Amino acid sequence: MAEPGDTRVAVYIDFDNIVISRYDQVNGRHSFQRDKSRAFETADRAADPEYADKVARATVDVGAVIDFASSFGTLVLTRAYADWSAPVNADYRGQLVSRAVDLVQLFPAAAYGKNGADIRLAVDAVEDMFRLPDLTHVVIVAGDSDYIALAQRCKRLGRYVVGVGVAGSTSKSLAAACDEMVTYDALPGVEPPPPLAEKAADKPAKTTRKRAAKAAEPVPDDDATADPDDAPAPAKQSTRRAKATIPVFAEPGHEPPEPEPEDPQDVATRLLERALRLGHEKDDAEWLHSSAVKSQIKRMDPSFNEKSLGYKSFSDFIKSRDALAELDESSTARLVRLHPAASARG
């Protein structure tokens, strides 16, 4: 049972919207559709390195979005809507599942599945508000103007509405309909996209997929033409592999290799930095209560425990990161802030 005054947050992510918007922001307007990035498979060895670099530059940090949402209160539910059989979305599966995000599968009824996520997300959000009357905040991760009516309905039902969208792809009308609108680029921990001019300088020449595939095909000689059985296999098979979709649930024995576990100390340091940045940005205060910072860390990672890291108290944990955080113990209320040098780096 929720305590009176507790804030409880529901997060709804139009995943296609945020991924496409970020890709277009980093690589140029309409580049996602032009590059046919929906079918791009980063794990394929035959994948064009140029497109692999584009996809890598536009990777969305889902953790930054969820951590920002958790700064408003306890996350009651988090859902992401997309066609998870598309390779560009399936690559995020591990990142989403590790943050306990409920993946809602959308099977496109038409060629482009237009408005599929918009309608399903809106219906679920309205249903949840009636089913869970203790919801206080609704976070909509999308910049589409189709969500204006949803934001207005949430406000009429007494919920505080927060929108998260990519700069340059967010509707001004949607921002006006929300109680608060933030850009994905401004979230703590999100790296700024590289400038387009810098990307162009890194690449001596820009080739299309058709040209690359044509260059990869062997040039037939007289002997190969005379005897088709001796001719080398065409290079079209690798193209098919690059367009193959990744199943949402892999077959037994075909699971991707588990990544190497990260150092718990490094993970804890990043959690502390992000919690401090969120606190300073949200409260606009120079010093934060250490208890509030710890609560924010626990919301981002419930497994956090300073004692398991070798510290007797949370204050000792902060002191061990003196290059990142400053602790003021002059009063009974222990206060903490991001170190000025670390703040300048961010």
Q: Which residue matches tokens 């990161």?
A: 321
Helix, strand or coil, per DSSP, at residue 99:
coil
Half-sphere exposure of 146 (CA within 13 A, CB side): 15
Provide the sign of the torsion angle of the four alpha carbons 245, 79, 57, 302, taken in this order. negative
- Alpha-carbon span 13 to 65, nearest angstrom: 9
Give me the CATH code for the 264-345 domain, please: 3.30.420.610
E strand spans, 146-239? 160-165, 180-183
For residue 286, give the DSSP letter. Answer: S
With beta carbons less than 8 A apart as the criterion, state whether 297 and 271 touch. Answer: yes
Instruction: Give ranges for CATH 3.40.50.1010 in the chain.
Output: 8-186
Instruction: Give ranges for CATH 3.30.420.610 in the chain.
Output: 264-345
* pLDDT for 212: 46
Q: Which CATH architecture is the domain 8-186 placed in? A: 3-Layer(aba) Sandwich (3.40)
- Alpha-carbon span 83 to 235, nearest angstrom: 29
* pLDDT for 122: 94
* pLDDT < 50 positions in the chain: 1-2, 113, 197-212, 214-215, 221-226, 228, 231-255
Rg over alpha carbons for the chain, rounded to the nearest Å, is 24
- The residues near 291 (Cβ < 8 Å, ≥ 6 apart) are 334
* pLDDT for 37: 76
